[in-house]
Every structure is written in structure tokens, then in C-alpha cells.
Chain A
Amino acid sequence: MLEVDAVTKHYRTRRGTVRAVEGVSFTVPKRGTLALVGESGCGKTTIAKMVLLLEIPTAGVIRFEGQDIATMARPALRSYRRRVQAVFQDPYASLNPRLRVGRIIAEPILAHERPGRTALDKRIAEVLDIVGLPAAAARLYPHEFSGGQRQRIAIARALAPRPELMVLDEPVSALDVSIRAQVLNLLQDIQAEYGLTYLIIAHDLALVQHFSSAVAVIYLGRVAEAGPTGPVFADPRHPYTQALLAAVPLPDPDHVLSEAAAAGEIASALNPPSGCSFHPRCPHAFAPCSVDVPPPYRLAADHVAACHLLKEALP
């Protein structure tokens, strides 16, 4: 449904060019969930912004159902804006504190249609019900709700115009552990019920494995590894994916965390290392790693990893 094709984004700043995203490609299958995983500064938020047309790619194409979203005509653009919605990370900053909840939820509907008062109220009540909030909530202000409830309101808002694709930017990171489960379950339920496609940005690998069917691991603006969640997590082929997985502290006292998997600091997008951007931290780095940028080697039908080590392993 959504195809990101060799997308690049550079920002020109006083200190130089920030290479936020470099040649990233992945596809989000219809009704599936793709997770963009990476640490801070890897560019995953920038990719999300480009998908939401909040930023324009410097190079590359993003296609929605085959159409390039950057060159769409007015009517197609309006349709895109209705069919693609977003839920953001911070439940305290994503709702306008001066508007009532009902008006907040109505916003995306009103941007595209002119329903009558009763019809609108009915839709608001419907969507509030879907997220588990009472219809009376529409008359209240955001500050009267808790973080978890606000995130539900944000989900209701995104659901209101009956979208097909939802971009979820760290939707539960700012919530308490016990509330996270509630919201994640809700997201899964509405995906099943309405056949939604999700693009989720996350840094919590356990969450990603639980929630998404496909994953793209991003490091410093490039795709390190991408594929279905199962194979990528069970048998990661890129050293960065391996390092990430090894670094996750499990709720198991006997699990040993390995410090050696990813030594050093995350490099800066202003001045990325030559060749493979992970090579200074990689325990397996060898000669070509500092010279050539590894292309994505195909390991299986939809599983790729950009690592020179795989060159020999594959025909």
C-alpha cells in the first residue's frame, strides 16, 4: 500500500549538511504493520514526516497505492490527507488544550466534509465508543483526562475520518507500563476491525516484535535490515540488529546483557562515517566496510540486510 523508494532527506544547516535519511526503501503491505526501529538520530521520525507530507524528500519517491505523493494533484492530495492519519508520541502536547474533545475529534472530519450537527455528533460518539471513552467526554477539555485517555482521544481523532493508513509515532512511549498494554490492545483491535495499515515508529524492540508483522531497522539514515518480524528477530543478519537485540534488557534476572555488541557512540548525521555507517562500532568490520556503502543484500523474498559480510554468504 505504501512504498518508500530510495528516499533521501538532507537538511542544510549552518554547520553543514545533515544527512538525516539516505536511500531508504521499504514497503508497507496493506493491512499489515511495519515498524521503523532505530535509536535517536537515525531518521525514523524524518521518514514518518515525509510520509505525512510534513517534509519533502530531497530525493526518492514515496508512493501511496502506486501514486507519487509529492506530485499528486489537488484532489488526490486531499484524498491522501483523509486516508492517511497520525497519532503522535506525547499525549500532553498532541491535543489543543483550548478546544473541547468533541471539536478536536471533529477536526479531520470537518477538513474534508460538511456533515450536519447531528451526523457529526453521532460519528464523534461512535469513535469515542470504539476507543473506550464515554460520549460525554466530547464536552470536556483535554486537561481533564489522564495520559492514557488522551492518547485514546488522539486515536479517536485519527480514526474519525475513516483512514486507511495510520502513522503511529511512538504511540505508547510516554505512557505508563500498565496503560501501554491497554492502548496497544486497542490499536490491535481496531486494526483488525477496520482493516487498517499501520506504520509505527518505535524504539522498544519487544513492543515491535509483539505488535508488527514487518520491521525495518534504521541506523544513521540507512536501512540496516528489513523484513518480516519473525525472521529478523529470530535470526538477525546485520550486526546492528544483532547489537540492538543483544542490548535489550529482558525481564529475566538470568539473562546476561552483552556490552560488547555495540561499543562506542552513535555517530552524527552531520558527519557520518565513510562506507558503512556502522563500521566504527561493528565487531565484525573488515576492509570494505570503511570504503563502500553496503547495498541491501537479499536474504529471502522480503528480507534484506545491508552488510558486506553477506556478500560472500550469498551467490
Chain B
Amino acid sequence: MTVRRRIPLWLRGVPWLALLVLAVVGICAIGGDDILPADPNQLNLADAFRPPFWAANGSVDNPLGTDNLGRDILSRILAGSRISVIVAAYAIVFSGGIGALAGLVAGYFGGVVDAVLMRLIEIQQSIPSIALALIIAAALEPGLSTVIFVIVLTYWAWYARIIRGEVMTLKGRDYIAFARVAGVGTPTILMRHLLPNIFNTLIVLATLQVGQVILFEASLSFLGLGIQQPDISWGLMLADARQYITNAWWAITMPGIAIMLTCLSANVFGDWLRDRLDPRLRQL
């Protein structure tokens, strides 16, 4: 009799469903328009407000229905994943990179550097992110780069704080002390000893961020501060469909579900990754 029988599979095993969803999103993002069932931008006013295929007036040609301009919602959702992935990728890489660097330096050197950084973090975290977004979007033109810029500005502090904590714990480790005793230079210590050991934490943080970033982008686009027409974004779809919620509930619900599923999958995956990586580290 093994332990596996007693622990529910979804806790112990790989999160297949989450990975599947993420894979679909990923494929659509790279795939391009050709793999979509229909042209996401094709207007077809005669077909407007067609409900999903299981409802009275629905058809399999538009499995999730059409929006107010007759555009196929499924195709638009799949196309919208492109923006989500791009934003997530750039935003996480930049905010994670900047945040990790800041956290590394602050955590290792302490003193004034750390104090300054902590104040910056505190200032940054006390400004509501939407307000920040409004200000920046007003200053710059709304669009993809603005969205990424706002997200990086909002989230770097989160990474910095956590990485700083990790580094402060790690720097007391004997192998760091030994490196100093042996005469190893500080940059080498940071790169060789600290960075690889915070890498796991960084990866887990990044994965957990995916959901948040997508939601943030959706909110920004919903408010009109982010992606603009004719680009497709889930947030934008929500904004467009809001006024039709009473007579075409699917137009707003479907993109909403897409957002939810993607965030959920990213979170489940991130949690699983953290559990997988942590105990092994302890074994190390």
C-alpha cells in the first residue's frame, strides 16, 4: 500500500487541466490568425447577437455566439490571447528582472541602499495601481507599451520585496561566508551564489503573477487605458459587451470565463511548481 492512494490526485499529480488551458492559450498566441475557426474581425451585422450553439438560435458556426457586430466570439477570444501572452511575457520579464535586481542589491548590501529601496517600495505600494495607470495613460498614449509600462511600474516592488527577504536569509549562509573568506569578489558572489539560489523563488513568483497581470491588463483595457480598437483584448471585449449584458449575456460572459480560466490555470500551475521545487530544495 502506498501513500499515493491516500492523497487526492489533484494535489500530488501534475495539474494537467491547468497545463492544457495554458497550452491552448500559448498556441493561439503564437499560432496567428490561420488557426482560428473564423476571422475575428469579420463584421457580419446580420449575424449579430447570435447566442452560443446550445441555445435556441445558436449555430455551430459560432460556437460561443457572436457579439454586437456579428464577430465570432470564440475566434475573438482565441485571438485576444495573443495580447494577454505578450503583455504577460514582457511585463513579467521586466518587472521580475528589475525587481529581482533591486531586491538582490538591497538584501545583500543592506544599510543605506536597503533603506532607500524600502522607501521606494513603500511609496510605490501605497499608490493605487489604477490611479497610477490613469496618470501614466494620460501622459503617454494608451496602447500596448503603456500597459506594459504601467504593469512593470506596479509590480516590480512586489518582486523586490520578496527577493530581498530571500537574499537576507541566504546571505547568512555559510557558503557565502566562505566565499568572502576565500576572497571571492562581491559581483561573483551575487551572480554565482545568490542568483541561482533565488531563481526558483523567482520562477514561482513569475508564474503566480501571470494571472494578476492578465487581470490587470483586462482592467486597464476595460477602462480604456490599455489596448485600443481594432486590436483584440479580453478586457476590451468586456468593455464593449457591457452595455449588452441583458440581451446578449454571452458576449461579456465568455471573455470573462476566458480570463478566469487562464488566471486560475496559471495560479494552479504556480502553486504546483512551488510545491514541486521547494521540498526538493530542502532535500538539497
Contacts and interface: CB of A to CB of B under 8 A. Distances in A.
A161 B180 CA distance: 14
A99 B283 contact: no
Interface string A110-137: 1110000000000000000000000000
B281 A97 contact: yes
Contact of A85 (B173, B182, B283): B182
Contact of A81 (B175, B181, B192, B197): B181
Given A54-B181, A81-B181, A94 B284 contact: no
A93 B174 contact: yes
A107 B179 contact: yes
B182 A108 contact: yes
A9 interface: no
A89 B196 CA distance: 23
Size band of the A side of the interface?
20 to 34
A86 interface: yes
B183 interface: yes
A72 to B, nearest CB: 12
Contacts, number: 67
A90 interface: yes
B182 A161 contact: yes
A86 B183 contact: no
A98 interface: yes
A109 to B, nearest CB: 9
Interface residues of B, number: 19
Nearest to A97: B284
Contact of B175 (A85, A94, A112, A158): A94
Contacts of A98: 196-197
Contact of B183 (A97, A112, A142, A154): A112
A142 B175 CA distance: 12
Contact of B184 (A85, A90, A107): A107
A141 interface: yes
B193 A96 contact: yes
Q: Is the interface of B mostly helix, strand, loop or mixed?
A: helix
Given A96-B197, A97-B197, A97-B284, A88 B178 contact: yes
Contacts of A161: 182
B194 to A, nearest CB: 10
A94 B183 contact: no
Contact of B174 (A53, A84, A90, A108): A90
A197 B157 CA distance: 48
B177 interface: yes
Given A99-B192, A143-B283, A88 B183 contact: no
A200 to B, nearest CB: 16
Nearest to B197: A98
Interface string B158-196: 000000000000000111011111111100000011001
Contacts of B184: 107-108, 110-111
Given A141-B284, A142-B284, A143-B284, A96 B183 contact: no
Contacts of B196: 96, 98-99
Contact of A86 (B178, B193, B197): B178
Contacts of B185: 111
A52 interface: yes
A157 B178 contact: yes
A78 B183 contact: yes
Contacts of B180: 54
A302 B283 CA distance: 47
A93 B175 CA distance: 7
Enumerate the 8 nearest inter-chain pairs by beta-carbon distance, A residue then B residue, closest first: A81-B183, A108-B182, A94-B174, A97-B284, A88-B174, A143-B284, A98-B196, A111-B183
29 contacts: A53-B181, A54-B177, A54-B180, A54-B181, A81-B181, A82-B182, A84-B181, A85-B182, A89-B174, A90-B174, A93-B173, A93-B175, A94-B173, A94-B175, A96-B193, A96-B197, A97-B197, A98-B197, A99-B196, A104-B175, A107-B178, A107-B179, A108-B182, A108-B183, A108-B184, A110-B184, A111-B182, A111-B185, A158-B178
Given A93-B173, A94-B174, 6 more contacts: A54-B181, A93-B175, A94-B173, A112-B183, A154-B178, A158-B178
